[in-house]
Amino acid sequence: MITLKFARKCNMKKLETHELPNRNSFFDFYMDNFNKGAIYDVKETPSEYHEVAQVAYDTVLKTMQEGELTHPGNGWKDVSLLEHAQHASNHAVDAQYEIQHNIQYPTGEDHTGNCMTRCAMIKFLKSKTI
Protein backbone atom coordinates (compact mmCIF):
# COMPACT_ATOMS: atom_id res chain seq x y z
CA MET A 1 0.00 0.00 0.00
CA ILE A 2 1.30 3.42 -0.94
CA THR A 3 -0.24 6.51 0.64
CA LEU A 4 0.36 9.96 -0.75
CA LYS A 5 -0.93 13.45 -0.41
CA PHE A 6 -1.89 15.43 -3.49
CA ALA A 7 -2.56 19.15 -3.79
CA ARG A 8 -4.50 19.78 -6.98
CA LYS A 9 -3.28 23.00 -8.65
CA CYS A 10 -0.81 23.16 -5.72
CA ASN A 11 -3.63 24.28 -3.40
CA MET A 12 -2.18 23.18 -0.06
CA LYS A 13 -5.45 24.03 1.73
CA LYS A 14 -7.33 21.28 -0.12
CA LEU A 15 -5.24 18.17 0.27
CA GLU A 16 -6.36 14.84 -1.09
CA THR A 17 -5.12 11.59 0.40
CA HIS A 18 -4.78 8.67 -1.98
CA GLU A 19 -4.13 5.05 -1.07
CA LEU A 20 -2.75 3.02 -3.94
CA PRO A 21 -2.33 -0.75 -3.81
CA ASN A 22 1.13 -1.00 -5.42
CA ARG A 23 3.96 0.79 -7.23
CA ASN A 24 2.37 0.32 -10.65
CA SER A 25 -0.70 2.18 -9.41
CA PHE A 26 1.55 4.91 -8.02
CA PHE A 27 3.30 5.24 -11.38
CA ASP A 28 -0.07 5.48 -13.16
CA PHE A 29 -1.25 8.11 -10.68
CA TYR A 30 1.97 10.07 -11.17
CA MET A 31 1.69 9.96 -14.96
CA ASP A 32 -1.94 11.13 -14.80
CA ASN A 33 -1.34 13.92 -12.27
CA PHE A 34 2.26 15.17 -12.31
CA ASN A 35 1.29 18.32 -14.21
CA LYS A 36 -1.97 18.94 -12.32
CA GLY A 37 -0.63 19.59 -8.85
CA ALA A 38 1.89 18.62 -6.19
CA ILE A 39 2.45 15.06 -5.03
CA TYR A 40 4.18 14.74 -1.68
CA ASP A 41 4.41 12.81 1.59
CA VAL A 42 4.62 9.47 -0.21
CA LYS A 43 4.75 6.53 2.20
CA GLU A 44 4.84 2.85 1.43
CA THR A 45 3.38 0.54 4.05
CA PRO A 46 5.37 -2.69 4.34
CA SER A 47 3.28 -5.64 3.18
CA GLU A 48 3.98 -7.43 6.46
CA TYR A 49 1.83 -4.86 8.25
CA HIS A 50 -1.15 -5.90 6.15
CA GLU A 51 -0.38 -9.58 6.73
CA VAL A 52 -0.22 -9.07 10.50
CA ALA A 53 -3.46 -7.09 10.44
CA GLN A 54 -5.14 -9.85 8.43
CA VAL A 55 -4.02 -12.51 10.94
CA ALA A 56 -5.38 -10.35 13.78
CA TYR A 57 -8.68 -9.83 11.96
CA ASP A 58 -9.08 -13.54 11.16
CA THR A 59 -8.16 -14.53 14.72
CA VAL A 60 -10.59 -12.13 16.40
CA LEU A 61 -13.41 -13.06 14.03
CA LYS A 62 -12.87 -16.80 14.57
CA THR A 63 -12.60 -16.40 18.35
CA MET A 64 -15.79 -14.33 18.52
CA GLN A 65 -17.70 -16.81 16.33
CA GLU A 66 -16.55 -19.71 18.52
CA GLY A 67 -17.41 -17.71 21.64
CA GLU A 68 -20.91 -17.08 20.36
CA LEU A 69 -21.52 -20.85 20.54
CA THR A 70 -20.76 -21.00 24.26
CA HIS A 71 -21.76 -17.43 25.22
CA PRO A 72 -24.68 -16.44 22.95
CA GLY A 73 -26.28 -13.02 22.91
CA ASN A 74 -23.33 -10.63 22.60
CA GLY A 75 -22.97 -10.45 26.38
CA TRP A 76 -19.40 -9.25 25.93
CA LYS A 77 -20.81 -5.77 25.25
CA ASP A 78 -22.11 -5.62 28.81
CA VAL A 79 -18.81 -6.64 30.41
CA SER A 80 -16.76 -3.82 31.95
CA LEU A 81 -13.53 -2.68 30.33
CA LEU A 82 -11.68 -3.70 33.47
CA GLU A 83 -13.07 -7.23 33.33
CA HIS A 84 -12.11 -7.53 29.66
CA ALA A 85 -8.62 -6.28 30.55
CA GLN A 86 -8.32 -8.80 33.39
CA HIS A 87 -9.35 -11.66 31.09
CA ALA A 88 -6.91 -10.45 28.41
CA SER A 89 -4.14 -10.32 31.01
CA ASN A 90 -4.89 -13.86 32.19
CA HIS A 91 -4.81 -15.15 28.62
CA ALA A 92 -1.52 -13.31 27.99
CA VAL A 93 0.04 -14.96 31.04
CA ASP A 94 -1.19 -18.38 29.94
CA ALA A 95 0.09 -17.81 26.40
CA GLN A 96 3.48 -16.74 27.77
CA TYR A 97 3.68 -19.87 29.91
CA GLU A 98 2.80 -22.11 26.96
CA ILE A 99 5.42 -20.44 24.77
CA GLN A 100 8.08 -20.45 27.49
CA HIS A 101 7.59 -24.15 28.27
CA ASN A 102 6.68 -25.25 24.74
CA ILE A 103 3.42 -26.83 25.90
CA GLN A 104 -0.28 -26.40 25.36
CA TYR A 105 -2.78 -26.62 28.20
CA PRO A 106 -5.10 -29.64 27.94
CA THR A 107 -8.09 -27.37 27.25
CA GLY A 108 -6.59 -26.53 23.85
CA GLU A 109 -7.73 -22.94 24.33
CA ASP A 110 -6.07 -20.39 22.04
CA HIS A 111 -4.81 -18.00 24.71
CA THR A 112 -3.15 -15.66 22.23
CA GLY A 113 -6.37 -15.46 20.19
CA ASN A 114 -8.48 -14.90 23.29
CA CYS A 115 -6.12 -12.18 24.53
CA MET A 116 -6.25 -10.43 21.14
CA THR A 117 -10.02 -10.69 21.07
CA ARG A 118 -10.45 -9.22 24.55
CA CYS A 119 -8.14 -6.35 23.57
CA ALA A 120 -10.15 -5.79 20.37
CA MET A 121 -13.35 -5.75 22.42
CA ILE A 122 -11.83 -3.11 24.70
CA LYS A 123 -10.83 -0.95 21.71
CA PHE A 124 -14.32 -1.34 20.23
CA LEU A 125 -16.15 -0.51 23.45
CA LYS A 126 -13.88 2.47 24.16
CA SER A 127 -14.50 3.83 20.66
CA LYS A 128 -18.26 3.75 21.33
CA THR A 129 -18.01 5.70 24.59
CA ILE A 130 -15.97 8.61 23.25
Tell me how far apart the alpha carbons of residues 72 and 80 are, in angstroms, rounded to a whole number.
17
Q: How far is CA 45 from CA 16, 76, 83, in A?
A: 18, 33, 34
- Supply the mean pLDDT for the chain: 92
Does one domain contain both 9 and 67?
no
Does one domain contain both 74 and 14?
no
Does one domain contain both 6 and 38?
yes
Does one domain contain both 62 and 122?
yes
Q: How far is CA 32 from CA 27, 28, 107, in A?
A: 9, 6, 57
* Crossing angle of helices 47-70 and 111-129, rounded to 10°: 90
Report pLDDT digits (tens) over 8-66: 887 778 888 999 998 899 999 989 988 898 888 888 888 898 899 999 999 999 999 99
Number of folded domains that form the chain: 2
- Which structural domain range is residue 29 located in? 2-45
Does one domain contain both 117 and 60?
yes
pTM recorded for the entire structure: 0.70
